[in-house]
Structure 1
Amino acid sequence: MKQTDEEFARGVDYLRNIIESGKTLKMPDPRRLMTGTTYLIEVTGFTKNWNMGLTRDQICDIPGTKEYRESALALAQVLNSRFMNVDPNLYVTKSGRLLEVDWEWPLSPMVNEAGNAYISASALWVHLKDRLTGELARCAVKITAAQLMPGSGSNPFSRLSLIVNSIRSAVDSKAVSFHPTRELLGSKGDIVEFGYSATRHDDLAIHDFLSKKVWLLGFKAGRKDTQAWVSDPWDAAYLGCTTGEFHQAAAVLDAQERIVLHESGEFAKAGKVLLANNGPLQAATPTPQSKATNEEYDVFVSHATEDKSYVEPLARGLEAAGIKVWFDKISLEWGDDLRSAIDRGLKACRYGIVVFSKAFLAKKKWTEYELTSLFERESVGRKVILPIWHNITRDDLVEYSPGFAGRFAINSLTDSNADIVNNLLRLLGREPKIADIPQVAALSEMGFLPGKPKFNAVAYARYETTGVDAKRADVHIRPSATREGWFTYEDSFGEVQHATQDDIATRFVLFDRRLIREGYIRMNYANLAASRAFDL
């Protein structure tokens, strides 16, 4: 049954009374988001801000649903104390990171890896920033339809702590990739499975976490006298302990002069021992930048210089997925000896991507040397070389090396950069990504010209975002060069697909909807085809 405006207003007032019951926080009128029926609930206090998303139905149901009322009250009590921290959006991890969490409401539908169909799950996109290192990450918390049914995941208020702790656990296990700049972060994201159940931590682990928390959330995020809330129940759930055990640990740390406990017992600041030792030893340090020495690489990319316009976007995409890449334009520094630098990269890599092309097959000095070196590292049962056929046929490769022609290879005409990234992630035993390869400047070399369709395009669209960090995206559809009656889909994130008219039309619409949902504005669009199949 459709909820009335009166029921909605009553739900808003009920929630506002709960949030503002502590006299320190305020809740302005909810703001409807651009898509769907989700409203942004903002909470303010002490010039700080925190927000969450609730659907219209959830807001209407608050007064008459006991579970909602009780969990909303519990959330309000948590927020009243979290707002006493430097920032209510900061969370400490067991691995020593100080995470700033920025939710990207509302929950959005998820698509399969091919990007052409929705799956039975929703994603809450989250932006992360490590306040210590300045590194950035973006992840999608995957919540299945079953988890949204009655249970711990169905309550929108109690769900938040599960989301936070799922993210923290993923960060601890290095399942979330951090990047030093926004450019390297791109538009990709790691998948974080929703749902977290902590194993019981011993007293030593609880003491260690609390020391980190007071040091990072207090001293490092603020100054010498800045205090952090000790008994956060979300942190207790993260460690599988109780808030009472946090109080006991705080008393011990206070006696050891590692922290200074406030007389209320609820807050603490860094003590003499933490200050003298410059904090716990486990506090996070910036991730070192990649160098061409003393470092293990996931993959070495061997290619001909003439193929740089194809290989560079691929290498950047691999890096954006958290894969450590030896690629000359990335790994070589001014003054490096080419032979010794290549040798180091070849010895330190786990796999070698070899981009076979007509230029590569010309048997140039360095490509021949790299391929021979990779081949020598292979043994029975150990695969090292991962071939990509780039604008060549099997017959071309047979003339060069019949042995390599018989290997299963990826073809640059039919397999996208995202396909290559996901396949390599599986070989490395890591979770495939669901988003696309980030846009790089080299795409202009591939024929993507801002505001203009590619040669013989029958449909295209151009999108832009606003603001200081404005982004641009393009999509083009052309007749397939490999199969009559088919079409080729290409977008500026590196995705390429060859399929029937109906399949490409569906992909075109999904791409358009996704970008609009992510805040892009469609700046230009044309359907030059005789049919209306590619209408948006």
Structure 2
Amino acid sequence: MIEKPYDVFISYATEDEAYTKKVVDSLKSLGLKVWFAPVTLEVGDRLLDSIHAGLFASKCGLIILSSKYMSKSWTKHELDVLHRQHIESNKRLFLLWYGVNKNQIDKWNPALSGIVALKSSMSIPLIAKKIANVMSQNAPIRGVTPSYENPQFRFLQGRGELLANSDTGGAFNIFEAAEFPDKDFPLYIYGRLYSKKDIIIEIAKIIVYQSYNSYNLSSERRDRMVRLCKDYGFDTEDPNFDPAFMG
């Protein structure tokens, strides 16, 4: 059997992204590998192809079922795929009712009412723990890779540093990299070339999702990063700006 690279595929409405990200962070803190559009899509990916790949590359699906989710055609497509996999391939499907009740679910899609659901009235850590327990078959110990073992992720999230060219090179974080002169690009990071625009896109995500460590980003530097993002067409101060689909 081919091992699937992700434990959980997250299906959600964009309007629910702030809540969903908290769920994702809690799942990841418990060692689960999560397919979540804002952190999984790469620059230049074809959205439809990438999401289909994520659906089939995940062991289970988690649907953040809200009134916004029920009003969209795109989320209905994801739900149809996940529900079909649940029926035909016995793929586990988790439902998280986010501000909705059974009557609303029954009216929208009666087929879902038979699936025992998690509810947003529960704490997010408890929701994540219940999912992790099911995925690990209630194993008493789950091996979780500490974040410091993934320096690329920490760098791209604004939480860590890389060394330049060798293990004795000078350390730099992503905010410093954004102000490197053009001659220093592209940067080669863990098997991939990053243009200056690629780095700016990652910074726009960091600012919007507030994933950085504050000691890496002073208020003065943050203002410079916001201006730099705007120079590249990414207005992180616009409430309608959605970094999940950039590129």
1:385 paired with 2:90, answer no
Give, in whole Å, the separation in 2 of the partners of 1:306 and 1:432: 35
Q: Distance in 2 between matches of 1:312 and 1:376?
A: 25
Structure 2 alignment gaps of length 5 or more: 143-156, 158-204, 209-213, 217-247
What does the per-residue CA deviation read over 1:289-311, in whole Å, with 9 as the maximum and x for residues that have no partner?
xxxxx961100000001101110
Matched, 1:418 2:125: yes
Q: Does 1:352 align with 2:79?
A: no
Q: For 1:352, give the aligned amino acid.
A: G
**Residue aligned with 2:62, SS:** strand
The answer to which structure, 1 or 2, has the higher relative contact order (CA under 8 A, 6+ apart) is 2
Note if 1:309 corresponds to 2:21. Answer: no
**Which of 341, 348, 355 matches 2:50?**
341
Q: Is the 8 A contact 1:301 1:353 kept in 2?
A: yes
1:297·1:326 contact (CA, 8 Å) conserved in 2? Answer: yes
- Following superposition, the deviation at residue 432 of structure 1 comes to 6.9
Partner SS state of residue 407, structure 1 = coil
- For 1:323 and 1:396, locate their aligned partners in 2 and report how far apart those are by CA, in whole Å: 30
Q: Is the 8 A contact 2:4 2:58 kept in 1?
A: no
Q: CA deviation at 1:431?
A: 4.3
> 1:373: how far off?
0.7
Gap change, CA 1:379 and 1:335, over 3 Å in 2: same
Secondary structure of the equivalent of 2:67? coil
Is the radius of gyration larger for structure 1 or structure 2? 1
**Separation of aligned partners in 1, 2:45 and 2:23:** 23
Q: Please say if residues 354 and 386 of structure 1, whose CA atoms lie closer than 8 Å, have aligned partners that are also in contact.
A: yes
Decide whether the 8 Å contact of 1:425 with 1:432 is kept in 2.
no
**TM-aligned CA deviation for residue 351 of structure 1:** 0.6
Question: Could you tell me whether the CA contact under 8 Å between 1:300 and 1:351 is conserved in 2?
Answer: yes
**1:300–1:346 Cα contact (<8 Å) kept:** yes
Q: Please list the CA deviations of residues 168-225 of structure 1 after superposition, one character each: whole Å capped at 9, or x if unmatched.
A: xxxxxxxxxxxxxxxxxxxxxxxxxxxxxxxxxxxxxxxxxxxxxxxxxxxxxxxxxx
Deviation at 1:402, TM superposition (A): 1.1
**Equivalent residue, structure 1, for 2:233:** none
User: Corresponding residue for 2:83?
Assistant: 375
> Against the structure 1 CA distance between its residues 397 and 297, is the aligned structure 2 distance closer, same or farther, given a 3 Å change threshold?
same
Q: Which residue identity does 1:412 align to in structure 2?
A: S
AA of the residue aligned to 2:46 = D
Q: Secondary structure of the equivalent of 1:333? A: coil
Cα distance in 2 between the residues matched to 1:468 and 1:367 = 38
Q: Which secondary structure does the structure 2 equivalent of 1:418 belong to?
A: helix
> Are residues 340 and 427 of structure 1, via their aligned partners in 2, closer, same or farther at CA, if it must alter by over 3 Å?
same
Code of the aligned partner of 1:425: A
Superposed CA RMSD in Å reads: 3.0
- Alpha-carbon offset, residue 468 of structure 1: 5.5
1:427 shift after superposition: 1.4
Question: Matches of 2:87 and 2:133 in 1, distance apart?
Answer: 21
1:408 to 107, 113, 116: 116
| 1:365 aligned residue | 73
Do the aligned residues in 1 keep the contact of 2:59 with 2:91 (CA within 8 Å)?
Answer: no
User: Is 1:318 equivalent to 2:27 in the alignment?
Assistant: yes
- Work out the number of aligned pairs and report it: 146
String of CA shifts for 1:265-323, please: whole Å, max 9, x gaps: xxxxxxxxxxxxxxxxxxxxxxxxxxxxx961100000001101110111122112210
More helix by share: 2
> Aligned letter for 1:428?
M
The 2-side partners of 1:296 and 1:468 are apart by 33
Aligned-pair CA distance for 1:406: 2.7
Q: Deviations over 1:475-529 (max 9, x none)?
A: xxxxxxxxxxxxxxxxxxxxxxxxxxxxxxxxxxxxxxxxxxxxxxxxxxxxxxx
Distance in 1 of aligned mates of 2:96 and 2:42: 26
Report if aligned partners of 1:375, 1:384 keep a CA contact under 8 Å in 2: no
Give, in angstroms, the shift of residue 368 of structure 1.
0.9
Moved over 3 A (4+): 430-433
Task: Give the secondary structure class of the aligned counterpart of 1:352.
Answer: strand
Give me the TM-score of the superposition, normalised by structure 2: 0.53
Residue 427 of structure 1 is matched in structure 2 by: 134
The code of the aligned residue for 1:319 comes to K
Question: What is the one-letter code of the residue matched to 2:58?
Answer: C
**SS at 2:43 equivalent:** coil
Greater share of strand residues, 1 or 2? 1
Gaps of 5+ in 1: 1-293, 434-439, 446-466, 470-536
Whole-angstrom distance in 2 between the partners of 1:381 and 1:332? 26
- Residue 326 of structure 1 deviates from its aligned partner by 0.4
Over 3 Å counting, the alpha-carbon distance change for 1:431 and 1:344 in structure 2 is: farther
CA distance in 2: counterparts of 1:345 and 1:304, whole angstroms: 16
Take 1:315 and 1:379, find their aligned partners in 2: how far apart are those partners? 25
- Kindly provide the CA deviation profile for residues 3-27 of structure 1, in whole angstroms up to 9, marking residues without a partner as x: xxxxxxxxxxxxxxxxxxxxxxxxx
